[in-house]
A and B are shown apart, each in its own frame.
Chain A
Amino acid sequence: EAGVTQSPTHLIKTRGQQATLRCSPISGHTSVYWYQQALGLGLQFLLWYDEGEERNRGNFPPRFSGRQFPNYSSELNVNALELEDSALYLCASSFIGQTRATDTQYFGPGTRLTVL
């Protein structure tokens, strides 16, 4: 069974540009989560999408946004890039189901974004 996939592996942008990161969840998973792993700041929750809707959002400015497509894949967009946005962005997926109980999150390999 294929795991969570992310693209691109690396992305280099300059300050002020926009970045788009993509994630495909494990087959059968309906929820996608985005996390930021910045150097020295640990792993921070960014966004959660389930069934095409944004369900929860971490403490990040509005220039971090995204969407989930009908096939449950997801896109993270970062507008007006700043130097401190340089980080590893990790996507995870899980299956929530009718109970709405959180299931285990499985992570992709990440996209390393560098802002110059």
Chain B
Amino acid sequence: GDSVTQMEGPVTLSEEAFLTINCTYTATGYPSLFWYVQYPGEGLQLLLKATKADDKGSNKGFEATYRKETTSFHLEKGSVQVSDSAVYFCALSGAQKLVFGQGTRLTINP
């Protein structure tokens, strides 16, 4: 079945550091790919998405490119802020449901 694997956390960085959170997937067909973010005590917010190969999703300085050849959708940000501290989930859409990775907890220190 479909699955998503994220790099294990937690990840701790200093403010203004470069961020990469790895995400790879296994799926039949060509799913859409998503990154969601969950701030403490809240639900999930859509961060960005890509619907086909080579698409780049971007939002709030975050970017991720849909790579079919490597089945990856890595999340990157050039300069993180304390306010980026949250749990990040990579997900794919399959059979009209979302399949999530296990989540990566990110902490940014000032």
Q: How large is the interface on A (under 10, 10 to 19, 20 to 34, 35 or more residues)?
A: 20 to 34
The answer to whether A48 touches B43 (Cβ under 8 A) is no
Interface of B, helix, strand, loop or mixed by DSSP? strand
The answer to whether A107 touches B97 (Cβ under 8 A) is no
- CB contact between A102 and one of B36, B93, B102, B103 (< 8 Å): that residue: B93
The answer to whether A45 touches B97 (Cβ under 8 A) is yes
The answer to whether A48 touches B45 (Cβ under 8 A) is no
* CB-CB under 8 A for A43 and B43, given A102-B93, A104-B49: no
The answer to whether B44 touches A107 (Cβ under 8 A) is yes
The answer to whether B49 touches A45 (Cβ under 8 A) is no
Residues of A that sit less than 8 Å from B by CB: 4, 6, 31, 33, 35, 42-43, 45, 48, 55-56, 58, 90, 92, 96, 102, 104-110
